[in-house]
Structures are given as C-alpha cells and as structure tokens.
A and B are shown apart, each in its own frame.
Chain A
C-alpha cells in the first residue's frame, strides 16, 4: 500500500469527563473510499471536527501526506487539501448557487482587494477563471444542478440539491481528501441511490480520496473500499464491508449485548 493521504495515530479527545475519541488509529489511502460507521454518539462527527480543525485533539497525531496538521486552523487545513461537508447543511443560503461554489476558491485565488477594486486585467482574468471553475464543478452534477439554477439563491434549492451544492462547494477548494458527513441523510431512496453512484464517481472520475460518515448501510455497502466501525470513541472493527457487517462487536454496538447470538 502506498503512503496514506490521511493518517491518524492514537487520537484522543474528551469533553469534560466524556471521552469522545479514545486512542483512534485510522488511515485513508489515495483513491480510497473509507466509511466510518457507528451508532449515534460514537464520535464520528467529532472525528471530522477534529480533522478539519474545529477542536484541537487532546493527544495524538493527524498527518496529511505525512505532514502534521494538528494545531492548524480550519481555513489552513482546508487550504492544505481537506474539504468537508456538514451533517446539518451549511450552505450560504442567501448567495446564489454559483457564488456558493465560487466562494470556496478564496484560498486558491490571489487578487488583492485593491486589484479587485480597480478591476485590473489580472483580477478580471482570475475572476473569470473562478467562474469557469465553479461552473465546471457544478456541471459534475449533470441534470440535477443545471445552468438555470446557478443564479438562484441557495435557499431556493431542495434539500437534496443543497447536499449536492455542499459537495460541489467542497470540490471547489480543490481537495485531496473529501470528507462527507452523512451525505445521504434525509434523502429518499432514489436520491440515496444517486448519492451512492455520485460518491463512486467522485472517486473514479474526480480522483478524490474520500472519508465518509454514513448511517445508510446500502450506501456504505455500495461505496466503501473499507469500513471502520466506531463505538464510544473506540475503533471496534475495520475491514471490508462484509467483514465489518458481520462483526460481532459491531452488531452488538448497534443492537445491544446479546444481539449477536451470544448465549
């Protein structure tokens, strides 16, 4: 296996007396889709929040391409190549769809404010490129986010489309690792199937390495190269979907002790 894109070593975090993550090791290989599953309160979203720089970890190491990112701010981490979506959607509601995506290119663009104010040729060229980039990212979603929607405010979008927009926005930061926090939450069966296919395309066509939290086991089954199961902040199983799904500890974590057929 080549060097992992993301490597987490012995990560721990507690809030007050509550240990949310305990001694977690995890790695994402390039071009891999790794799913993180676990019951509610297992520490999945906290893991995302620590990786993306909202909370500092109590101990442990997070390496992006071999370089530590612990202690960096969210915007620095995003700039280094980790983009994420949110479980509770956080699109910029009062900006247009296109602007939402364009806003994610701030770190990658260079025009100074005075250059924008005077509309220098350089600033104008960059603005045009940003626009084209945003349109390219939105085009990835085909019929679902077609042109006439791009100039509409994001609040006019449906729930599923806001999820798509969040992914497009994350793509626009040009990440190496894409972190999706429950991309299929609140979607109907058809949309769930679409999301499953979309995650596969994000890996195969767009070439992202993907870390995804998901509750819907159909999605997990459909997209995962590997699955990691968490319970109470501890990794309880890791491996292929089939292996994890049949793991006794995982079944017990979801359904309670004894559910795995123990006498």
Chain B
C-alpha cells in the first residue's frame, strides 16, 4: 500500500510535468491545427535556463539569495527563455508556412527541433547537468500523507501545476485575449474578419504554451535531476501522447492526459519493468490512437464535403 501510494505521488509529479508540456501542444494545435514538433526543445531550453539562473545565483550549495527567491527566479528565467525560443519558432519556422500544405510545417518543425538540439549541444555540450535539488530543499522536508512522506519539491510541483491550470482555464474562459484564442481555434478566417489579429493570437498562444513548457523543464530538473540536450525528444513525444489521449485542442484534456501518462509510466516502472517503460507507454498510445483518435475529451470531427 505504501509502495503504491509512493508510486501514485510519483505519477502525479510526472503527470504534472507532462500536463504542462501537453498544454503547449494542445493550444498550438487548437489554434494552428498543426503539431509543434519542436515543443520538447522549448522545454529543454527552459530546463537549462533554470540551471543557468541557479548557477548565477551561486549554485545549490552556495546560494546568495533565499531559496524561495532562487526558485522563483529560476521559474521566471525559464519562462522568459522558453517563451523567447517558442516565439522565435513561431515567427521564423512556422509563420512563413501558414498557407502551405500540411506537410510543410511539420517538416519545418522537425528541422527546427533538430536545429535546437544541435544548438543546445553546442552551447551546453553533451554532458548532463543536475540541479541537485536535495541540497536546495532537504529531502526530509515535506508533507506526511498517511504512511508516505512527500518531499516538499514534489508538493510544490503539484501545487504550482494546479495553480497554473486554474489560471489558464480562467484566462481562456474569461479574459478578452483568451476569448480571441478560442475564436481563432474555432475558425481563424471568421475570427480575422471579426477584427481579431490572428498573428497576435498565435503569438500569445506560443508565448503561453512555451512559458508553461519552461516551468515544466525546471520542475523536471528539480524532481528528477539530470538535464541534457536530448531530454526534450522523449518528453515531447510523451507529452504529445498526453495531449492526444486527453483529446487534442482541449485544455482539460491535456491535463487529464498528462496525469494518465504520468500514472501509466510510474506504475509501469514500479510494477513491470523500467526497461520497457517507454515501450509500454508508446504501445499504449498506439492502441489508444487506433481505438479513439479524438481522445478522451475530444469530439470526432465530421468529414466536410
């Protein structure tokens, strides 16, 4: 039971990160109807930005500011860098292809993803880095839920994710910009005719999606340790899986999908085999895609003739 609870917390943490990433895929897909394949790289740059801020502040052992401030600055730094990368992607890799075939943006995205990986390799070398978060916040600090002790960092990850989700849902539902995003994802052409600046909406979507990915990157660095130039690829695939499982284009769907994938991965690692963790997650996705391509919360689209 204790072990199971521990894995549940594990899955919840992992799922939070996937959910944050999945949101980026889902939002961009909603607005532009294409898959931002390079989103995983945005997240990777966020993780490195967080590391950079940490290093500038003196590293995990020699912090020159209080821990809470350091963490805040790391998140902010990651959000800024990730949004920068995301917006640059939109402006230079995707915007020129707005009216091209469906194949073009995807290939461009693959190229951009590849380019960003190589750039990270040049900038950060192939060595992996570690936040060494236990030195920031000792592993003993945390909450006790029944028989399980939950590390404060994990609690923070889950809480921050929940808060961000609530904020985002509110923003999309109620704010003027959020309504514009929904209008564009419903029908970009009609929205443009109603005076909505589609380019602006797309930019905002990338900005928010990328910032969330940056937060996710720092979280992974804090909880799971190693960050490296290739980390975005597999995480991106899984987050995309999460977005699809939840129903692409749907914000609650992305959250739900993220959690599902997180749990699936945590339990697979714990009860079956860590070697086949990826194999099983991908296998699940393939089966899922075949049975219900529109996802748990998505609606199947009608063929328009």
Contacts and interface: CB of A to CB of B under 8 A. Distances in A.
A touching B, CB within 8 angstroms: yes
Interface of A: 15, 45, 49, 54-55, 86-88
Given A15-B302, A86-B305, A87-B305, 6 more contacts: A45-B305, A49-B305, A54-B303, A54-B305, A55-B303, A88-B305
A87 B302 CA distance: 17
Contacts of B302: 15
Contacts, number: 9
Contacts of A86: 305
A246 to B, nearest CB: 32
Nearest to B305: A49
Interface string B292-305: 00000000001101
Interface of B: 302-303, 305
B71 to A, nearest CB: 48
Contacts of B303: 54-55
9 contacts: A15-B302, A45-B305, A49-B305, A54-B303, A54-B305, A55-B303, A86-B305, A87-B305, A88-B305
A154 B302 CA distance: 27
A42 to B, nearest CB: 16
A54 B302 CA distance: 10
Nearest to B303: A54
Contacts of A15: 302
Contacts of B305: 45, 49, 54, 86-88
Contacts of A45: 305
A13 B197 CA distance: 39
B5 to A, nearest CB: 43
B304 to A, nearest CB: 9
Closest 8 CB pairs of A and B: A49-B305, A54-B303, A54-B305, A86-B305, A45-B305, A15-B302, A88-B305, A87-B305
A45 B303 CA distance: 13
Contacts of A87: 305
Nearest to B304: A88
A86 to B, nearest CB: 7
Nearest to A16: B302
A15 B299 CA distance: 13
A87 B305 CA distance: 8
